[in-house]
Structure 1
Amino acid sequence: MPAAVRAALDAELATARTAADPAVAWRAAERAHILSQPWPWPHTVVHAAMLRRALRERDVVEAVGQVVRLAVAGPGSATGRYPEGNTGRARVPLTQPMPVPNDLAALLAR
């Protein structure tokens, strides 16, 4: 993982873990997910953070969805079979590609 992507991922994960406002936390987690998709371990770490957030919020649907995603994140990244831009949330289809925000696309293109 390039250093610039790692720095952006770490910043988004820190916000996802510490933000008091759930909307801010989830937006940061989604952005971290997009950044992490090409790498198996970071991708798995992001889904673990999403699972912790879902449990903290007592969101059963999100928690179950994150358990499923934890099982497939690493292998999907390792084989290059992941839906680019997908936010990683349980309410988004597992295989649905989505637009990558411009700032993240620029980081990932380097």
Structure 2
Amino acid sequence: MKPKLRKAFENEMRAMSEAYAARNLNQSFYHLERAHILGQRHFKTHLETHWWMLKIGFGRKDIREIFGQIIRMIAVFPASLFGWVPVGNTGGANVSALKPMPIPHDLALFLEDD
């Protein structure tokens, strides 16, 4: 992962962690979705975002999110192996795991050279 992308990913994860510590699960999930967009092309960061989404699913007692994240965590392995990820996908169980999505403009510049 290139340094500017790594820094952007870490900034989103830091914001997620602060919101999580404050028990603001909605804000925490928002930052995880942004981190997912940034990190989904890299195995470790991709898996990390889904792990945290799973934790938030448990915190919300959201069965759909819990089940969806378990499936997505399993899918990270072949997705990384074959290099296939739906660009821009936010990673939550509220969207198809196969659906490409528009990348927010403020994140797109970090993905240009990756």
Under a length normalisation based on structure 2, what TM-score does the superposition of the two structures give?
Answer: 0.89
Over the residues paired in the alignment, what is the CA RMSD in angstroms? Answer: 1.2
**Partner in structure 2 of residue 8 of structure 1:** 8
Residue 76 of structure 1 corresponds to: 79
In terms of mean alpha carbon deviation, does 26-35 or 11-20 score higher? 11-20
Name the counterpart of 1:43. Answer: 46
1:43 and 1:74 in contact (8 A); partners too: no
Query: What does the per-residue CA deviation read over 1:21-67, in whole Å, with 9 as the maximum and x for residues that have no partner?
Result: 23211110000000011111110111001111111111111011000
Q: Normalising by the residue count of structure 1, what TM-score does the alignment of the two structures yield? A: 0.92
C-alpha contact 1:39 1:78 (8 A) present in aligned 2: no
1:96 equivalent to 2:99? Answer yes
Structure 1 runs (4+) deviating above 2 angstroms are 20-23
Structure 1 range deviating more: 74-83 or 93-102: 74-83
CA distance in 2, matches of 1:94, 1:2: 25
3-state secondary structure, aligned to 2:77: helix
Alpha-carbon separation, structure 2, partners of 1:14 and 1:27: 12
Q: Identify unmatched segments of 5+ residues in structure 2.
A: none
5+ residue gaps, structure 1, are none
Compared CA separation, residues 74 and 10, structure 1 to 2 (3 A): farther
Aligned-pair identity in percent equals 36
